A and B are shown apart, each in its own frame.
Chain A
Amino acid sequence: AQTVTQSQPEMSVQEAETVTLSCTYDTSESDYYLFWYKQPPSRQMILVIRQEAYKQQNATENRFSVNFQKAAKSFSLKISDSQLGDAAMYFCAYRPHGTYKYIFGTGTRLKVLA
């Protein structure tokens, strides 16, 4: 079964510091898509960043970047210059190519300390 694992239920980071959230997935597929979503207390689900498995270059969106290691099936999210507004649940998601199904990890709660 395809699964997504986020091994850190909770993380803390000091404001302006950098934090990395981990995500690993289990798949036998070679082509797929990966996403990170943020869910603040407002409960909105907000797309943070996405990565295609066929691209070797790591995706970057402003202060957010990923470290995609295909062989290790790892897709970690790095948040630089952390801000108070980054405090939220973060979910990693995986979608195999040619399917409609998005599979989510269990989430990591990020706390940002002033």
Chain B
Amino acid sequence: DTAVSQTPKYLVTQMGNDKSIKCEQNLGHDTMYWYKQDSKKFLKIMFSYNNKELIINETVPNRFSPKSPDKAHLNLHINSLELGDSAVYFCASSQGRTRGENSPLHFGNGTRLTVT
């Protein structure tokens, strides 16, 4: 029944490591997103894919690389993790522009990344 699922829920790792977060949606949406929520709860868009095409790429270090193998999946790989990468990362999906302009974002439950 889960609409947008992301794994893992928690990720604790050391500086310099490489890690991935996976996301899948079963809503039939054509657009997926990665948002970062910092310690002050501010939500900032990182990337968005529409039908596997990168359409939003905000000012994010190139250590972050999204990959969308199909429109139901969007993964986030992070190289050489730094202390400042500690945050909650949310995957989300929406209908995009082709159907339902007023489509809200549907969020996964977030991945809390802690870099030590």
Q: How large is the interface on B (under 10, 10 to 19, 20 to 34, 35 or more residues)?
A: 20 to 34
Q: Write the nearest CB–CB distance from B74 to chain A, whole angstroms.
A: 13
Q: Does B48 lie within 8 Å of A33, measured CB to CB?
A: no
Residues of B within 8 A of A97 (CB): 101
Within 8 Å of chain A (Cβ to Cβ): is B90?
Answer: yes
Q: Does A100 lie within 8 Å of B55, measured CB to CB?
A: yes
Q: Write the nearest CB–CB distance from B54 to chain A, whole angstroms.
A: 11
User: Which B-chain residue is minimally distant from A49 (CB atoms)?
Assistant: B104
Residues of A within 8 A of B40 (CB): 106
User: Which B-chain residue is minimally distant from A107 (CB atoms)?
Assistant: B41
Q: Which of A1-41 contact B (CB under 8 A)?
A: 33, 35, 37, 39
Q: Which of B80-96 contact A (CB under 8 A)?
A: 88, 90, 92, 94, 96
Once bound together, how far apart are the Cα atoms of A42 and B43, in whole Å? 16
Q: A33-B101, A50-B102 are in contact. Are A101 and B48 (CB under 8 A)?
A: yes
Within 8 Å of chain A (Cβ to Cβ): is B107?
Answer: yes
Residues of B within 8 A of A75 (CB): none
Q: How large is the interface on A (under 10, 10 to 19, 20 to 34, 35 or more residues)?
A: 20 to 34
Q: Does B107 lie within 8 Å of A45, measured CB to CB?
A: yes
Once bound together, how far apart are the Cα atoms of A99 and B98, in whole Å? 11
Q: A44-B107, A50-B104 are in contact. Are A100 and B97 (CB under 8 A)?
A: yes
Q: Does B102 lie within 8 Å of A33, measured CB to CB?
A: yes
Interface string of A91-112 (1 = CB under 8 A from B): 1010001111111101100000
User: Which B-chain residue is minimally distant from A109 (CB atoms)?
Assistant: B41
Once bound together, how far apart are the Cα atoms of A43 and B56, in whole Å? 24
Q: Does B41 lie within 8 Å of A89, measured CB to CB?
A: yes
Within 8 Å of chain B (Cβ to Cβ): is A47?
Answer: yes
Q: A100-B55, A100-B97 are in contact. Are A43 and B42 (CB under 8 A)?
A: no
Q: Which of A44-84 contact B (CB under 8 A)?
A: 44-45, 47, 50, 52
Residues of B within 8 A of A45 (CB): 90, 92, 105, 107, 110
Cβ contacts A to B, 12 pairs, < 8 Å: A33-B102, A39-B41, A45-B92, A45-B110, A47-B105, A47-B106, A50-B102, A97-B101, A100-B96, A101-B56, A102-B45, A107-B41
